[in-house]
Amino acid sequence: MFICKKKIPNLALKLKKGLEETGRLVRYHELKKITRKNPSVILTGHHCKDYTESIFLHLTRGGGKKSFYTLPPFDGERFLPLVFLEDQELKDLYEYVATHMRIFEDESNSDPIYKRNRIRMELLPILEREKWNFHKTYWNFHDRTQLNIQFDGLASPNQTISPKMFRIPHETWMSLTLPAKKELIDFHLKLMGMYPLYKSGFENFHLQSEGERAFLENKNCYLYKSKFGDLFIIDKKSSAFKKAISYREGNQLTIEWNQNQFRIKDPEERYSLGSWHHGQKIQIRSGNKEISECMRENGIPFFLRTFIPILYFENEPIQILFSLFSKNEKNYPKRIYLER
């Protein structure tokens, strides 16, 4: 058994959030720490009535279409087994548990000061009288065929590790029909152990792709495409989101990032690892060039640019190590120009 005590009122003041939200954040934070130590998934008791509460809660706060896709049956970390029960089955289960077990109710659940409680106590009874089908409503906006429970654990010898990043050529993207584009994205997401995109999310991303830049973020990954650039599908757990490291072995400097390595002879220890900063320039044959422009020309997604390792010489950037992002990429500039 694991017991954790936190001073929620103090944390709520510090985070500038309500008690209920702070408690939820702390609860899941501690649960995630457990799952990292012991490979597992988190099971919660959310059911279809909770989903209806959440819909109206989000809508009263100005939520849009995404409000209807909240509480998926499995989001890569949390699994909701009770959403598979029909309304009557859920009621029977609750009555059985109440008869044979002691239920500890959080006293805040009946406090009308919280909007969620008012929705539960005042709105849901009206919906029940009007024969609202909570189970059917939930599955109108979720797809059980997408359910694929996986979690990060120690890989067995026969277990394949899902890729964390895909780069789809611009030419391939442009040659496909609209349905084929979604199938292409969904296929790669499946290879990464993720759900297909919701239709509304895909349509929004495709509409953006007709402009200068398209960007989509969900709980598990990022999708990015510049106007004439390749399409990137990147897992949020990709090693590309970790800082590069460097170390020395003899007269050689080694830089590691994104599971790739770069080595350079450095007997005088004049080279070092660095990263991009706003307004920074790099020396090329014809003069100096904005590093941000180099990143754009190579199609590097904006949210990854600060992670791209840069080789420095005596505290000046001299080469962008694009080869660590992808082995097919060439470092820029190809030749290193040093001011002596």
Angstrom CA distances, 281 to 58, 243, 289, 299, stand at 45, 21, 5, 18
Strand, coil or helix: 253: strand
pLDDT of residue 159: 46
Distance, in Å, from the CA atom of 134 to the CA atom of 10, rounded to the nearest integer, reads 36
pLDDT in tens, 115-133: 889 999 999 999 999 999 9
Task: Write down how long the chain is.
Answer: 340
Tens of pLDDT, residue by residue over 275-332, are: 988 889 998 888 899 999 999 988 899 999 999 999 999 989 999 999 999 888 899 9
Q: Using alpha carbons, select from 46, 55, 216, 60 the residue that is nearest to residue 141.
A: 55
Q: Can the peptide bond before residue 73 be classed as cis, meaning omega within 30 degrees of 0? A: no
The confidence band for 147, taking pLDDT boundaries of 50, 70 and 90, is low
313 contacts 335 by C-beta, under 8 angstroms? no
For residue 281, list its beta bridge partners. 290
Q: What does the pLDDT read at residue 219?
A: 83
Task: Quickly tell me which residue has 């999310």 as its tokens.
Answer: 201
